[in-house]
Structure 1
Amino acid sequence: MTSKKVAVETLGCKVNQYESSVMMESLMQANWQPVSFKGAADLYVVHSCAVTSSAAFQTRQLLRRARRLNPGALIAVVGCDAQLDHDRLAAGELATHILGTAEKFDIARWIEVPASFAAPCRAVKGVNDIPRLSAQAVSCMHTGRTRAYLKVQDGCNAYCSYCVVPYTRGRSRSLPADEVLSRLRRFVEVGYREVILTGIHLGQWGKDLTPTRDLAGLLDRIGDSDSPPRVRLSSLEPLEWSAGLLRRISTVPWICPHFHIPLQSGDDDVLAAMHRPYTALQYANLIRELRMLFPEAALGADVMVGFPGETQRRFLNTLHLVEELPLTYLHVFPFSPRPGTPAADMPGRIPGDETKKRARLLQDIGTRKRRQFSERFLGRSVEVLVESAAPRAGWLRGTTANYLQVLFPAGPPVLPGSIVRVQVVRSGDRELIAAAPAGG
């Protein structure tokens, strides 16, 4: 049977990266051959994100690009934006197949349904009807990554006032521990040296299971198994750092010292309007405790600017808090009103120019903090997971356990996915520069 060509482009979070690999594997089993999204294909799949209006715009751009590349191809838009805005996507005749949060995992079957741009196949189940989370089998990352993502949780019960995720992914659902361990073993067997445990609301893992479990208990189970040399945790909310979790993480060498803790705002009034259940002081105390326990850990934060009602004084509270805390990098986002969320209708919208100005101020702080943290490792030996070739010929790029990006000459033959030790010699604009591995 002649194979057909499929191109997949993924927007958004680490969970989407894992899910794209699940979809790609199912398509390959149905005799589809993966190709680049930049060229000709028989099927284009846009795995969408709906967190910001910019992500939704990117989804539509990619769909139009796919149609230009091959006007006769099947084009599927799947995931969060398809779940949230399927009526608009259908009316715009942007795709032949529109698959929601649940249906995308059965993409190989749905694309066999006859459809056209004018009359797309639309399969979008309500999020309240999404079944329990099960281990969507994947043998490796089909997105070309040397680190494996493992989705152990999906959905969210938090309903922050600016966020559409509960409306696109449904309530929190956890992958049972035995299934987590099974998937983790599979990644180790095929050679991954680092696995990232990820979820939409990772800290809620186990709360929906019977009996209930928690993330610290899951890490105990992983520690008793054949785990990879590195396990990295994706984002964890400020109030989910229990004493048990802190104790567990601080006693094992295989958990990467890299923790991402969303802040969003350093002003209590803005946090309350966002429906974020902590105060700026609680957040500050956690970051300081993490720095005390993990002196060389990367500590990152999401910060939103321009939220309705964020006066200059309230913004300065955020600026000053971020400035004084021992964070090592920032992800700065302008507020994006999403239809159907309470924040979309809140008064006190901040003008776009002012929002951009505030974002630049925070981004400058983030750049400085990242550089200061990196420079602490000048002259030191670090272990690097080799990820890819660098733009400079004969050089490689990799990541340390504490999330530093490192460039170094290839030296002896080194394969992507291996872990090597290199000596840092200087700091670049965004990366550390190291000597070749020993033996080169």
Structure 2
Amino acid sequence: MKFAFFTLGCKVNLFETQALEQLAASRGHEIAARDADAVIINTCTVTSVSDHKNIRAFHKLRRDNPHAVIAACGCFAQTDPDRVRSTGEIDLICGTSDRAQTIKLCEDAVQGKNVTAAVRQPEEYEYLPAGIPHGRTRGLLKIEDGCNNFCTYCIIPYARGRVRSLPPVQVLEETARMAAADVHEIVLTGIEIASYGQDLTPQCSLTDLLCRLLPAFPAIRFRLGSLDPRLINDAFCARLRCYNNLAPHFHLSLQSGSNTVLQRMGRKYTAAQYLYNVNLLRKAFPDCSLTTDLIVGFPGETEQEFAETLDFLRQCAFSSVHVFPYSVREGTRAAAMPDQCSGAVKTARAERAKQTATELRTKYLQRFIGCILHDVLPEHQSNGRWAAHGRYGFPIYIASDTARKNQPVTIRITDLYRDGVEAEII
């Protein structure tokens, strides 16, 4: 059989799709981009905009694969299976649990068997093997699923369930398998990896896990996915600062720099606490890259609160900020809040925030001009240059005829270029 896969949303979804591709291939199926017998779409529902993207994708996949069995899994399929079904394009709806069964269900459906796919609330961690796309320098390893935070704007805890963790022994086993496949960098990902291990007996924090993982695989660089800033404390910094294979790139979720907005969002920290944690990281990991997400135009956000946020971005001196206009998500508490901002206000504030983010990014990158970086990994060629990433996470473009894919090089940064920096091999 020929299987095709389509992914919307975050790195967790991408990891899960890669795992399903591997499972399908292990059962003797061909992974194809067209003329598929079965198509699996991994859906996202983080915003109402995501829902519309899912539905458009359903229609396109049906047009492109009129005779295929099409299955939807993921967060949108979990939270609103009736809406998925009402499109008339999807044959199987599988949600966010028992993901591996999707392959078998598609096999049976293609063979004409009557199949029933149930959407149930995820309760246990579903082990899925890390998919390792051929020739890739970096790989994803999902170590956690679910979230217990229930922020007022977020539907994901309802889609993913409570925190569930991959036991440390299995994390080490999966890492060894990826190392054997010549993966040079592993991104540890999950829905809320700062909560890793809370459900395990005995408990094992993310810091505990890293203190086992980093020395066990010194030749692999590990990069952390998005972190709740409350994870960052003296123990985190003291225990991890000595490991050269931990990428000094930390994505600390912010959402707002205004305490009153943070309170309405249901975030469990203040701006002062966040800044304290940022300073801890900067002391332990000099020159580290600090990136974040920002929601603008949250219900009730005043001009003063937005100004506080812009000022806070400058205090933190982020190297990159992902800016999102607030999108109403039905089923969340924020959707029912008064004083919803207009579309025009959200758009204008997003543009102002992006301008500030660009200024901060330029200032951060300029510090590296003339610097030498080791173990930079060329990934692919683009416009006569090799696109690469180093320890700090920003894009590096190398003008070279001698670089080779996946072969680490030492470079000198010469100038700013596109969304990153330009460099030469030394």
TM over 0.5: same fold? Answer: yes
Counterpart secondary structure, 2:107 = coil
Matched letter for residue 205 of structure 1: Y
Aligned to 2:237: 246
Tell me the secondary structure at the aligned position of residue 64 of structure 1.
Answer: helix
Structure-2 separation of matches of 1:218 and 1:413: 34
Pairing 1:403–2:393 present: yes
Among 5, 10, 17, which residue is 1:8 paired with? 5
Aligned to 2:413: 424
- Residue type at the aligned position of 2:18: S
Q: Is 1:329 matched with 2:320?
A: yes
Alignment TM-score, normalising by the size of structure 2: 0.95
Identity of aligned residues (%): 33
The answer as to whether partners of 2:105 and 2:117 remain within 8 angstroms in 1 is: no
Corresponding residue for 1:256? Answer: 247
Residue matched to 2:18: 21
Residue 202 of structure 1, aligned match among 190, 193, 202? 193
2:109 match: secondary structure: coil
Structure 2 counterpart of 1:223: 214
CA contact (8 A) 1:193 1:418 kept: no
- Report the equivalent of 2:132: 140
Q: Map of 1:13-412 to 2, 5 A cutoff? A: 13-36=10-33, 39-114=34-109, 122-127=117-122, 130-131=123-124, 133-138=125-130, 140-141=132-133, 145-383=136-374, 384-390=376-382, 392-393=383-384, 395-412=385-402
Q: Distance in 1 between matches of 2:238 and 2:264?
A: 32
Structure 1 stretches of at least 4 aligned residues deviating more than 6 Å after TM superposition: none
Q: Distance in 1 between matches of 2:323 and 2:365?
A: 19
Q: Distance in 1 between matches of 2:165 and 2:109?
A: 34
Rounded Cα–Cα distance in structure 2 between residues aligned with 1:269 and 1:292:
28
Please give the root-mean-square deviation of Cα atoms over the aligned residues, in Å: 1.9
Measure, in 2, the Cα distance between the counterparts of 1:139 and 1:305: 35
- Separation in 2, partners of 1:147, 1:97: 32
- Structure 2 residue runs without a partner (length 5+): none
Query: Structure 1 pair 85/431, CA: closer, same or farther in 2 (3 Å)?
Result: same
Deviation at 1:113, TM superposition (A): 4.0
Question: Which range is displaced more, 85-94 or 373-382?
Answer: 373-382
CA distance in 2, matches of 1:339, 1:274: 15
AA aligned to 2:79 is: L
CA contact (8 A) 2:78 2:96 kept: yes
SS at match of 2:21: helix
In structure 1, what residue type is equivalent to 2:21? M
> Is the CA contact 2:152–2:264 (under 8 Å) kept in the aligned structure 1?
yes
CA positional deviation for 1:64: 1.2
Paired with 1:206 and 1:141, the residues of 2 have a C-alpha distance of: 28
- The answer on whether the counterparts of 2:55 and 2:87 sit within 8 Å (CA) in structure 1 is no
Q: 1:134 and 1:354 mapped to 2: Cα distance?
A: 42
Q: Is the 8 A contact 1:203 1:236 kept in 2?
A: yes
AA partner of residue 367 (structure 1): T
Q: Secondary structure at the match of 1:6?
A: strand
Q: Distance in 1 between matches of 2:145 and 2:218?
A: 22
User: Structure 1: which amino acid aligns with 2:163?
Assistant: S
Inter-partner Cα distance in structure 2 for 1:260 and 1:5: 38
| Shift in CA distance, 67/121, structure 1 to aligned 2, threshold 3 Å | farther
User: C-alpha offsets along residues 399-434 of structure 1, whole Å, 9 cap, x if unaligned?
Assistant: 11101201113422502x222112222211312111
Distance, in Å, in 2 between the alignment partners of 1:120 and 1:65 is 24
Aligned partners of 1:77 and 1:370: how far apart in 2?
A: 38
Do the aligned partners of 1:287 and 1:327 also contact (CA within 8 Å) in 2? Answer: no
Q: 1:71 to 1:179 in 2, by over 3 A?
A: same
Deviation per residue, 1:352-404 (Å, 9 max, x gap): 010010011111111111122112111222232122121x14x2111111012
Letter in 2 for 1:146: T
Alignment deviations for residues 117-142 of structure 1 (CA, whole Å, 9 cap, x no partner): xx995421123xx22x2532235247
Is the contact between residue 179 and residue 220 of structure 2 (CA under 8 Å) also seen in structure 1? Answer: no
Distance 2:381 2:158 in 1: 39
Q: Distance in 2 between matches of 1:364 and 1:239?
A: 28
CA displacement, residues 112-170 of structure 1 (integer Å, 9 cap, x when unaligned): 34389xx995421123xx22x2532235247x742111111110011001111110110
Q: Report Cα offsets for 1:216-240 as digits up to 9, x if no partner.
A: 1111111341344301111111111
Compared CA separation, residues 290 and 329, structure 1 to 2 (3 A): same
Distance 1:12 1:382, change over 3 A: same
- 1:140 alignment partner AA: I
After the TM superposition, which of the residue ranges 153-162 and 41-50 deviates more from structure 2?
41-50
* Equivalent AA in structure 2 for residue 168 of structure 1: A
- The code of the aligned residue for 2:308 comes to N
1:256 partner letter: A
- Given the superposition, is the C-alpha separation of residues 41 and 172 from structure 1 closer, same or farther in structure 2, using an over 3 Å criterion? same
Given residue 246 of structure 2, which amino acid in structure 1 is its aligned partner?
I
Provide closer, same or farther for how the CA distance between residues 306 and 345 of structure 1 changes in structure 2, counting only shifts above 3 A. Answer: same
Is contact 2:211-2:240 (8 Å) kept? no
Normalising by structure 1, what TM-score?
0.92
- For residue 162 of structure 2, give the secondary structure of its aligned residue in structure 1: coil
Tell me if the contact between 1:48 and 1:80 (Cα under 8 Å) persists in the aligned partners.
yes
Q: Deviations over 1:40-96 (max 9, x none)?
A: 322222211111112222111211111111211221211011101110110111211
